[in-house]
Structure 1
Amino acid sequence: MIPRKKPGRLDDVRSNGWLDAMKSSSPPSKKVQKEAGVEDFSDDAKGVYSSWTFKYPSALNSFQQIVSHAKNKKIVIFLDYDGTLSPIVDDPDRAFISADMRSAVRDVAKHFPTAIISGRSRDKVYQLVGLTELYYAGSHGMDIMLPIRNELCTNGSLIKSTDQQGKEVNLFQPAREFLPMIDEVFRTLVDKTKEVKGAKVENHKFCASVHYRNVDENSWSVLAQCVHDVLKEYPRLRQTHGRKVLEVRPVIDWDKGKAVEFLLESLGFINSHDVLPIYIGDDRTDEDAFKVLRGRYQGYGILVSNIPKESNAIFSLRDTSEVKEFLGSLAKTMENQEI
């Protein structure tokens, strides 16, 4: 049973840094991207961003360098969804991928193994993207669908299922035992946050998210306290931060970086020196993947951001329109047999 709030309980979320983390992971709403591109910056902001790109060069401006490094290697593409393939919007249910972006992803997937690794549920991100040519990993990589390969060893986390076309596939779900707990927490969070105007709770199967993009900043502490109180009853769950979202996830040694390694192994590249993985993402949850590629695989992490920030990525793209341009350039280069 969740204990009632007592006077002074908001000190909990302040003392453990939740409010600071919520603010640091939440750029001002005026900087939310539009599909067509970014809003105009002041001269000062443009200068700061330009300086930042010395450390994180544009992947478009560095395209020939990337292509040169890819010679005689197999490129594997990993993509986040929200903020990478679709713009960040106030209502996550309306974060649609454009027809042009879908076409760009389809063209890339014709030439390179391509996977989407999203915090959304795997079924939801497939519904939004609608391309059968891709690999899909939902819940930050805790729910991965891939072709049948009997040689994979996954300690009982692999089950057989069927995809949307009725084809037999493997599902890798390292947090499967947490399903009942996540369902329970989701229902509790919906109930406990219903009085916070603008809050939206989503069930992503192996994690739950509490969006505060439409919550008045003066109410953030109240919302954070609701989540804090609920999690006190679930020591096997932890809370992380995304872009104006609090996420509740199982306490397991798994993240998007581990998902990238698993997918590379599944594709036969785990011990390969002729592979060039490229991961494009915009969120702090993508940093684990950037770190993996920067280390063991000598691959390229590409951060999507129009706001300067520290990252484990090597290159940058300003917004979703630049992501589309980069993917289109990759596909065209392959069609011209330049890789």
Structure 2
Amino acid sequence: MTDIDKALDKVLDKAIDDVLADVLYEALTNWKEHPEKSGIFSDLDGTLSKIAPTPAEAIVTPEMRKVLQDINKKYAVVGIVSGRDSTEARRMVALENLVYIGNHGLEWLEDGKQFYVPEAFNFFGLAGNLASELSDIFNATGYFVERKKLGVAVHYRQVEDKEQAKARIEEVLKPMLAKYPLKQAEGRYVIELKPDLPVNKGDAVTVIALRAGIERAMYLGDDVTDIDAFQALRQLRDEGRLQTVSIAIASDESAPAVMQEADYVVQSVDAAEALLRWMSSIPRVR
């Protein structure tokens, strides 16, 4: 391919992206024109924050924080939906008066108060023992064991041979899954043990959206655990209970299923910020 061909392809790709963006923005006009009856829910890592080598290094930029702050002043409900603990999500975003849903829907912070799915109380104390045991096993360079309130996650993003790392983690977790009432969940170079309860991000978003009495809800996400939220919104739409839209944030690491299950796709965290900036009535930069 010549340099001219590459340049033409780049122009064509941008033109396609612009057309798709215009379709998405048009679809969200009702959200923007009626914020008092609309809700915005979003995953955190990989959606509002760029993926970092370890969870502790991830940040929400001041620019993104300002956009979220402006949105929260206009929309009926704004929810951050994360696999992190809700308290950790709040620390990272550093804004009050948002709903912070943590541990994939098992617990949340609202109006400064902590809430849990009732069955989750049975799992308190288990995470600490598991995190200690796994930290002793995965103490090599590249692994990171994240302790949560209700579970534990083993990150292997920095391990050179990721396929081998994943296989090793799964082998170690196998007897733990047999011994404890836990289930395994996978994300972008992370494998997690969490309570074996029939609750997910979609359940949490559904409950909060319906309770808020809104007419429309949108959800942004980038990972396989966000598919539950995409599917939940689609069901609410099919049932005629809410107008909904789901938006996937693409990356080189994105699982194809995430793109397939979403109504629309944007190409980066920066594109997600631009969309939210437009939703907050700040002039869109093209």
| TM-score of the superposed pair, with normalisation by structure 1 | 0.70
* Structure with greater contact order relative to length (CA < 8 Å, sep ≥ 6): 1
Whether 2:197 is the aligned partner of 1:233: answer no
Which one of 50, 54, 60 corresponds to residue 87 of structure 1?
50
Which one of 153, 168, 172 corresponds to residue 222 of structure 1?
168
Mapping of 1:179-328 within 5 angstroms? 179-194=124-139, 196-217=140-161, 218-234=164-180, 236-269=181-214, 275-296=215-236, 297-307=242-252, 309-310=256-257, 311-328=260-277
Q: Which stretch of the first structure deviates more once superposed, 299-308 or 286-295? A: 299-308
Q: CA deviation at 1:333?
A: 6.9
Q: CA deviation at 1:186?
A: 1.9
Equivalent-residue separation in structure 2 for 1:89 and 1:146 (angstroms): 27
Regions of 4+ moved over 3 Å: 57-61, 68-73
Mapping of 1:11-22 within 5 angstroms? none
Mapping of 1:323-338 within 5 angstroms? 323-332=272-281
Q: Which stretch of the first structure deviates more once superposed, 200-209 or 275-284? A: 200-209
Which one of 18, 21, 24 corresponds to residue 62 of structure 1?
24
* 1:106 and 1:133 in contact (8 A); partners too: no
Q: Identity of aligned pairs, percent? A: 28
Equivalent-residue separation in structure 1 for 2:226 and 2:165 (angstroms): 28
User: Number of paired residues?
Assistant: 264
Aligned-partner SS, 1:232: helix
Equivalent-residue separation in structure 2 for 1:260 and 1:101 (angstroms): 22
Distance change in 2, residues 1:225/1:100 (3 Å): same
Distance change in 2, residues 1:279/1:268 (3 Å): same
Q: CA deviation at 1:313?
A: 1.1
Q: CA deviation at 1:58?
A: 4.1
Which letter maps to 1:97?
A: V
Unmatched 5+ residue regions in structure 2? 1-5, 237-241
Distance change in 2, residues 1:60/1:215 (3 Å): farther
Aligned-partner SS, 1:137: strand
Structure with a larger share of its residues in helix = 2
Equivalent-residue separation in structure 2 for 1:207 and 1:60 (angstroms): 41
Task: Give a deviation string over 1:280-330, Cα, whole Å, max 9, x none.
Answer: 010100000000111213400100003572332101111111111001101
